[in-house]
Amino acid sequence: MVRYAEPGAVEWVESGGGPLIAVPETVLPFWAGADGDETASDYDRACEIDGFVGLLPVGDCAALVLGDEPASTAFLPDHGTFVRWGAADSEDELLAGVPTALATAAWEDEVHWTVPGPVVLFDAAWPGTDSTGTDHVRVVLDPGRYAVRAAQVQPGPETWLGLVQLRRL
């Protein structure tokens, strides 16, 4: 079993207060973040996502917005899941609750997301061209179509987490 809480085993991404977004690497230059000449920036569009997840067009692809709240988020490749830190006394405690959370989650309706390959998760306020210079994580995904579903789960009395699971279609 992988022990995720070992130093350097999990990379957490944090936001300055808004949503996180996973943008395909091929279209990062098209994400303007909070910058832009339009009346509604890309960041504004991301903030309008209602619920735990949503898709926004970026270039000739779509980006996955992790909505609801700006929780610290990590990607666990063994589970194909973004884990969002709601509450826990420690990283060990939070990550130990992931298997139970996945098994007991009451999933929201799923969306279908097509990606050309790896994506970068970062604060939606940043322009895509600056995303790798800030808090971010590169998520290696095979090109193709994914079902994306989300849930909020309480696997322990003092542990709450969000799940955004990707399943290859």
**pLDDT computed for residue 1 by the predictor:** 37
Is there a domain that residue 99 lies in? yes
Q: Nearest 5°: CA angle at 161, between 158 and 165? A: 155
Domain count, the chain: 1
Q: Give the residue numbers spanning the domain of 67.
A: 20-168
**pLDDT computed for residue 2 by the predictor:** 47
Residues 114-126: pLDDT tens digits?
999 999 999 999 9
Is there a domain that residue 6 lies in? no
**pLDDT computed for residue 87 by the predictor:** 93
- Tell if the pTM clears 0.85, that is, is over it: yes
Is there a domain that residue 138 lies in? yes
Contact assessment for residue 119 and residue 25, using Cβ atoms and an 8 Å cutoff: yes
- CA 81, distance to chain mean position in Å, is 8
For the chain, which residues score pLDDT lower than 70? 1-9, 36-39
Other C-beta atoms closer than 10 Å to the C-beta of 123 total 23
Q: For the chain, give the secondary structure using H, E and C.
A: CCCCCCCCCCCCECCCCCCEEEEEHHHHHHCCCCCCCCCCCHHHHHHCCCCCEEEEEECCEEEEEECCCCCCEEEECCCCEEEEEEECCCHHHHHHCHHHHHHHCCCCCCEEEEECCCEEEEECCCCHHHHHHCCEEEECCCCEEEEEEEEEEEEECCEEEEEEEEEEC
Contact assessment for residue 125 and residue 36, using Cβ atoms and an 8 Å cutoff: no
